[in-house]
Amino acid sequence: MKKAVSRDGTAIAFERFGDGPPLVLVNGANCTRGTDVPLATGLAADHTVYVYDRRGRGDSGDTAPYAVDREMEDLAAVIEVAGGTAGVYGISSGGALVLQAAASGLPISRVAVYEVPYSTDPAERTAADEYSAELSRRLAGDDRGGAAELFLRRVGMPPEAIAGMRQAPFWKDLESIAPTLAYDDAVMAGGQVPTDRLAQISVPVLVVCGGAGPEWFRDTGRAVAAALPHGRYETLDGQDHRVDPAALAPVLARFFG
């Protein structure tokens, strides 16, 4: 493990795999860099792959107050240690962060994202606002378990499954990074497809969604690709939001190769 230093002095922990053109992986909510290691090893034959702990997670630091701009600076710090420019892949809310970073002019050569949970339904904004308010309330009361449960309900996990997770040894890990759920919520910014921002991205972007998950992911993915000047959409058959790294790696290797 090594550390890059972000603009505000926050130490960002990262690991490096393989050899070749640099590729940075950005994970979503409830994840640390370890989540990305299987995908990194699957890409390491052709790329130098960087996985990192987003701020407030794992071995990375966290400096208040939080802002999405600070997370983009964290990504910029990792890209700097990777050589100054890199391809970047992001999954779920991590994909939203990557798209915003590309639109903001970070030195990113190509972008790929998997199932960014945007919505094309205006009515979904009400549910997103309600979630944001309740998440803030629980975190303000230091109810980390309640915040973690709220997120899991938000993404559609059944109550009985959540009850089982609360008894599992890894639940304490989810509670430890529960404050970063607010960071992902800020990155999503209400969850509507940000068409104006996407139109500012000048590099090639691959948008991938699983063929076995809910249809709204694919509808949204197509909308994201259509809003990009150089966007391309692809469905990965047999996959859902918990995509198999072995199925995804060849798709990314072709795009970034």
Task: Give pLDDT tens digits for 155-201.
Answer: 999 999 999 999 999 999 999 999 999 999 999 999 999 999 999 99
* pLDDT the model gives residue 201: 98
Residues 197 and 79 in one domain: yes
Percent of the chain beyond pLDDT 90?
98
> Taking the mean position of all CA atoms in its chain, how far away is CA 187?
9
Task: Give residue 107's domain range.
Answer: 2-120+193-256
- The rounded mean pLDDT for the chain is 97
Residue 141 and residue 138: Cα distance in Å, rounded? 5
* pLDDT the model gives residue 237: 98
> pLDDT by residue (tens digit) across 210-242?
999 999 999 999 999 999 999 999 999 999 999
Residues 41 and 130 in one domain: no
Given a cut of 90, is residue 128 above it in pLDDT? yes
* pLDDT the model gives residue 164: 96
Query: Among 137, 152, 185, where does a domain finish?
Result: 185
Residue owning tokens 């690709």: 225
* pLDDT the model gives residue 246: 98
Residues 81 and 162 in one domain: no
First to last CA, the chain: 26
Residues 45 and 152 in one domain: no
- Domain count for the chain: 2
Residues 250 and 225 in one domain: yes
Residues 29 and 106 in one domain: yes
The CATH number of residue 100's host domain is 3.40.50.1820
- The tokens for 18 are 């393989």
Secondary structure letter of residue 22 according to DSSP: E
Residues 113 and 145 in one domain: no
Residues 211 and 93 in one domain: yes
* pLDDT the model gives residue 204: 98
Residues 6+ apart with CB under 8 A from 203: 102, 108, 109, 110, 111, 230
Residues 73 and 22 in one domain: yes
Q: What is the pTM of this model?
A: 0.97
Query: Among 185, 220, 236, where does a domain finish?
Result: 185
Given a cut of 90, is residue 23 above it in pLDDT? yes
* pLDDT the model gives residue 49: 98
Compute the half-sphere exposure of residue 171: CA atoms within 13 Å on the CB side of its CA: 16
> pLDDT by residue (tens digit) across 42-60?
999 999 999 999 999 999 9
Q: How confident is the model at residue 123 (pLDDT cuts 50, 70, 90)?
A: confident
Residues 77 and 50 in one domain: yes
What average pLDDT does the segment 96-122 reach? Answer: 97
Query: Among 158, 185, 212, where does a domain finish?
Result: 185
Residues 41 and 102 in one domain: yes
* pLDDT the model gives residue 154: 95
Amino acid letter at 107? P
Residue 89 and residue 112: Cα distance in Å, rounded? 5
* pLDDT the model gives residue 194: 97
Cβ–Cβ under 8 Å, residues 29 and 151: yes
> Taking the mean position of all CA atoms in its chain, how far away is CA 29?
7
Residue 71 and residue 174: Cα distance in Å, rounded? 20
Secondary structure letter of residue 97 according to DSSP: H
Tell me the sheet residues that pair with 207. Answer: 113, 233
Residues 25 and 148 in one domain: no
Given a cut of 90, is residue 205 above it in pLDDT? yes
